[in-house]
Every structure is written in C-alpha cells, then in structure tokens.
Amino acid sequence: MAAPTSLRIPMKFDPAFDPRRTELLSRMVEKWGRFEGVLTNGHRHQLYGYIGSSDRRMSPLLRPGSVVLVDTSVRKVDNGDWTTEHDRPLYFAEVRGGYRCGWFHQQGSLLVMQPHPLSHCLPETWRVPDEAEIVGRVTGVVTRLNEPENFPGRGSPEERGDSSRKDP
C-alpha cells in the first residue's frame, strides 16, 4: 500500500443538508479542502457516505452520524461466504427517495436490505434497477463509540429509521 498523500475534507456544506438523512457526502458538500492523512489516497472510485442522525437501521454496528468510505468499483452484491456480522459486507445504495447503508442481498431483480437485528427496524425491498441500485461496497467507517445526547433516542418508527415509508 502506498504512503498517505492527502485527504479531502468538507469545508462548507450545502444549505439544504439535513443531518437526519443518509446521503452521499459529495451531494452535501459545497467546498472541499485538503488535509494530511489518508482515506481515499486519491482513488477516483471512492466516495464518502454519511449515515443520518435518525438512521438507526444498522445500530449498533454502524451508528447514526457515521461517515463511510464507499468503493464504487464494487456495485454487485456478494451474497456469499461470511460467517459473522463483522465479515458480512456492507453496501451503500441509492433508493427511490434517498439512500440506505447496510447489509443487502439480491434475489433476481429484488434487492433486500436486512437491518441489524438489535436496531428493531424492518427489512426493506426494492426492484432493481427501477427503484434501487448499489452505489458501492463500504470499505471503511468513522464512527462515534459513545452516542451523544443530541441524537434522537428510541422514538417513533420514522425517528428510528425503521419505516418502510420513503422520505419525501
């Protein structure tokens, strides 16, 4: 692996940015800056995703407010060989009305998101490619270890992100 060169970091967010929704950072950031370090190391097939503060679908494995690194060169779901929740690949998907990040499996033209069992959220399904597509495979994550008080707690299904209703 090559030595780190630099890291692009968000300097200014789009005024329409809603921190409760899961999004691609490239659509939320108006201005990027440079910072010494490495995440993407200049690879053009990598994007950042943001897990909305009200998206609890993958908690406690992937907490709300996390930033994920997405490899866009891997756009096909691997339904195969994993043995634990830590081995199972995570994917970032664009769905009608928003984005989802989590465990997916595909059966023909049906894409299914399986939330973490401890999240108490329901699975969601979409038709591919009409209603959803895989943006890429998650290859890295930056997350909090302790949840701050300002994140919404257990509330309504919409607040927890377990509703199958699509956001407007």
Give φ, ψ of 117 to 5 degrees: -60, -30
In angstroms, the CA 19 to CA 130 distance is 27
The pTM assigned to this predicted structure is 0.70
Provide the CATH number for the domain around residue 79.
2.10.109.10
Domain membership flag for residue 2: no
- Domain around 133: 7-144
Report the DSSP beta bridge partners of residue 110.
107, 127
162: pLDDT strictly greater than 90? no
pLDDT value at 158 more than 70: no
Residue 59 scores a pLDDT above 90: yes
Q: Residue 107: pLDDT band by 50, 70, 90 thresholds? A: very high
Q: Residue 141: in which H helix or E strand, if any?
A: strand 132-142
Number of domains in the chain: 1
pLDDT at 67 over 80: yes
**Is residue 164 in a domain?**
no
List CB contacts of 3: < 8 A, sequence separation 6 or more.
none
Which of 31-35, 74-78, 83-87, 145-149 has the highest average model confidence (pLDDT)? 74-78
Residues 93-102 have pLDDT tens digits of 999 989 999 9
155 versus 93: which is more confidently predicted? 93
Q: Is residue 165 part of a domain?
A: no
- Report yes or no on 54 lying in a domain: yes
For the chain, the average pLDDT equals: 80
Confidence of residue 168 (pLDDT cuts 50, 70, 90): very low
For the cut 70, the answer to whether the pLDDT of residue 148 exceeds it is: no
| Closest C-alpha to 24, from 48, 60, 52 | 48
Question: Is 167 among the domain residues?
Answer: no
Question: What pLDDT score does 151 carry?
Answer: 46
* Mean per-residue pLDDT, 55-72: 94
Within a domain: residue 55? Answer: yes
| CA-based nearest residue to 91, from 120, 118, 126 | 126
Beta bridge partners of 46: 71
In a domain, 161, yes or no: no
